[in-house]
Chain A
Amino acid sequence: MRIRANTAIGGALMALLLGAALTGAFWTPFDPLRINLRARLQAPSSLHWLGTDEFGRDVLSRIMVGAGASVVIALVTVLLAVAAGMVVGCTAGYIRGWADRIIMAVNDALLAFPGILLALAVMIVVGTNKVGLILALGLAYIPSVVRVVRGTVLSIREKEYVEASRVIGNSEAYSMIRHVMPNAIAPVAVLATSMFGWVLLAESALSFLGLGVPPPAPTWGNMLAASRPFMETAAWLSIAPGLCIALTLLGINLLGDSLRDRLDPRMAHG
Chain B
Amino acid sequence: MLGYLARRLAMTVPTLLLVAIGVFALVRLIPGDPVQVMLGDAADPAQAAQLRAQLGLDQPIPVQFMHWIAKLATGDFGHSITNNLAVLPLIIDRFQVSAVIVLVAVAAAASIAVPAGLVAAWRQNSLLDLSVVGGATLLLSIPSFWLGLLLLLLFGLKLKWLPVIGYVPFTENFWQAATFIVLPIVTLTMVEIGVLTRMARAASIEVLRLEYVTHARAKGVPEWRVLARHVLPNAFAPTWTLIGLVLGHLLGGIAVIETVFTLPGLGRLLVDSIFARDYPVVQGCLLFTAVIYVVVNLIVDLCYPLFDPRVTVA
Contacts and interface: CB of A to CB of B under 8 A. Distances in A.
Interface of A: 2, 105-106, 108-110, 112-117, 120-121, 124-125, 197, 201, 204-205, 208-211, 224, 227-228, 231-232, 235, 238-239, 241-243, 245-247, 249-250, 252-254, 257, 267, 269-270
Contacts of A121: 22-23, 26, 286
A209 B259 contact: yes
B248 A114 contact: yes
Nearest to B194: A253
Nearest to A107: B18
Contact of A205 (B14, B130, B253): B253
15 contacts: A2-B130, A109-B18, A110-B22, A114-B248, A114-B249, A114-B253, A197-B141, A205-B143, A224-B149, A228-B260, A231-B153, A246-B141, A247-B141, A249-B142, A269-B124
B152 interface: yes
A124 B30 contact: yes
A124 B26 contact: yes
Interface string B140-165: 11110110011011000100000000
B270 interface: yes
A231 B252 contact: no
Contacts of B252: 113-117
Contacts of A208: 145, 256, 259
Given A113-B252, A246-B142, 16 more contacts: A105-B18, A113-B293, A115-B249, A117-B252, A125-B30, A224-B149, A227-B149, A232-B157, A238-B149, A242-B143, A242-B150, A247-B141, A249-B143, A253-B141, A257-B137, A267-B205
B255 A209 contact: yes
A208 B253 CA distance: 12
Interface of B: 14-16, 18-19, 22-23, 26, 29-31, 124-125, 130, 137-138, 140-143, 145-146, 149-150, 152-153, 157, 202, 205, 248-249, 251-253, 255-256, 259-260, 270-271, 274-275, 282, 286, 289-290, 293-294, 297
B143 to A, nearest CB: 5
Given A209-B256, A253-B137, A114 B149 contact: no
B143 A201 contact: yes
A79 to B, nearest CB: 22
A197 B297 CA distance: 24
Contacts of A210: 271, 275
Contact of A105 (B14, B248, B274): B14
A228 B150 CA distance: 11
Nearest to B136: A253
A200 to B, nearest CB: 9
A125 B29 CA distance: 6
Given A109-B18, A120-B270, A208-B256, A242 B290 contact: no
A263 B268 CA distance: 41
A124 B15 contact: no
Nearest to B152: A231
A245 B256 CA distance: 15
A201 B142 CA distance: 9
